Structure formats: structure tokens, C-alpha cells
Structure 1
Amino acid sequence: MTRASQLSRRERQIMDAIYRLEEASVKEVMENIPEAPSYSSVRTLLGKLVEKGHLSHRESGPKYVYFPLVERNKASRSALTNLLSTFFSDSPVLAVNTLLDIAADDISTEELVELEKLIEQKKRLGKQAESKAGKSK
């Protein structure tokens, strides 16, 4: 994993706030993260996110307005890849099993049906890919 894909808890909170707001000043970030640290701490963290390539900024009067450079979907995939590698030995099965255990009391029947549909869809796509690979040999 690159340094840019590894974010601290507070950096992830800041990125989440900026994704929600689309762009934000230091003050707006502070208003949108839990138990925000001082203004100077948030400004420093925003600077680190700029250095890591996650954010950029533009001047808006006397302040900077920060905006994401990395699409939320791409950042999410990178974070999940890092999570799989770090905690689940690169096993999606272990990760999904853990998620289902955690959500056992909260997951609805409709959500379980949706997961089953997604699994079936992935199975079909896998069979199609295997079939195409076999024909090209």
C-alpha cells in the first residue's frame, strides 16, 4: 500500500466530511467532524491530506477551500483493500463473515436477499469468464 492510501482515523473523518460537503474550509471541516481538534490541528491535518494526494485547495478570499482529488469510490476500494490485507489475510470470505457477525442483529431480510443476489451475480460472471477462457485455448 502506498503512504497515500493509509489514513489515520482523524484523516478519514476529515475526508468523509469533505466528501459529504464536496468542498470545505477548515471551519466547515471542524463543524462536520466529531470532537474536532483545534483549528490549527485541523489545518495541519488538511495539509497532510494535500501532501498525500487526497486533497487540493483553492483560495477563496482570506481562506483556503479544500476539495477531494481522489474519488470516494476509489478511496473506499483502496481502504478496503488495505483492511483485507491487514486484518483478513486478503480473504474476502473472512471479511464478509466478520461483517455478517457484527451486523447479525441489524441486518434485514431484504439486505440478506440483496447479498444473495450479488453473490449469484458474481458466480454467473465468474462462470462466463471461465467459459470464455476455455474457448480461447
Structure 2
Amino acid sequence: MKKGPKISEAEWEIMKVVWSKKMCTSSQIIEVIENNTEWKPKTVKTLISRLVGKNVLGYKEEGRKYIYYPLMEESECIKDANQSFLSRVYDGAIKKMLVSFIKESNLSKDDIEELKRILDERK
């Protein structure tokens, strides 16, 4: 399986905005990010540049504006992040991870039933 680029926690915040908007300018990204963080516009622009460099974000020029759009689907990035986490923390053993999460979480009865249903479907 081809691994996608590693996306930092800060870059994820930028990507969440772009995925939700589909296409947007840096000003639109900055507006959303400024409501949720204390990042300066220059920081946001630096993160956007990194994502363009990693081929996660693309852009097109419209006059003096750059319109950014995702080059990777959110689901692809989540899958890559999951695989990376699983490899780093649990040596790739999904059973160890699931057992750990289940033991450490306060699962509702509905959560448990849904997990059982999913596991039964996988048989």
C-alpha cells in the first residue's frame, strides 16, 4: 500500500477547513482558523505552503488569488494516519489496539452493540 505524506497536527487543522469547503482562498482558511486558534495569518500561510509541497493541497490562480483544494480525500489521510499510529504505538497489531481502547473507554450499551454488529458482519 502506498503511504501518503505525514501530516502534522497543525496541518490537519488546515485540511479540515479545506475538506469542509472543497475550494477556498487562504483568507477563508485564515478566517476559520483564527476563530479556533491563536495562530497568526503568516503561520496559516506557512502551513498551507507545506501542504502544497507535500502534494496534499493543490491550487489554481484566479487573478491575484490562489484557490486551494484537496488533492487527497479525507478518508485517504485518515487511513494513512491510522496505519501510522497502529505501526508506531501497537507494532501493527490491531487486536492490541482494539483491546486497549475498549478496556480504557466508557462504552455505552449502544456502542457495545454496534461493535458486536460490526464484528459479526466481518465473520
> Identity percentage over the alignment?
24
Q: CA deviation at 1:100?
A: 2.7
Asked whether the 8 Å contact 2:18–2:69 carries over to 1, the reply is: yes
2:69 corresponds to which of 67, 70, 73: 67
Q: CA deviation at 1:19?
A: 1.1
- Which protein shows a greater Rg? 1
Q: Where do 1:76-91 residues align within 5 Å? A: 76-91=78-93
Residues 59-103 of structure 1 deviation map (CA, whole Å, 9 limit, x = unaligned): 234221211011111111111000101111101122223333453
Structure 1 CA distance for aligned equivalents of residues 28 and 102 of structure 2: 35
Asked whether the 8 Å contact 2:3–2:80 carries over to 1, the reply is: no
Match for residue 13 of structure 2? 13
> For structure 2, which runs of at least 5 residues remain unmatched after alignment?
none
Q: TM-score, normalised by structure 1?
A: 0.76
Instruction: Could you list the structure 1 runs, at least 4 aligned residues long, displaced by more than 6 angstroms after superposition.
Output: none
Please tell me the root mean square deviation across aligned C-alpha atoms, in Å.
Answer: 2.2
Match for residue 27 of structure 1? 27
SS of corresponding position for 1:82: helix
Which structure is higher in RCO with an 8 Å CA cutoff and minimum separation 6?
2
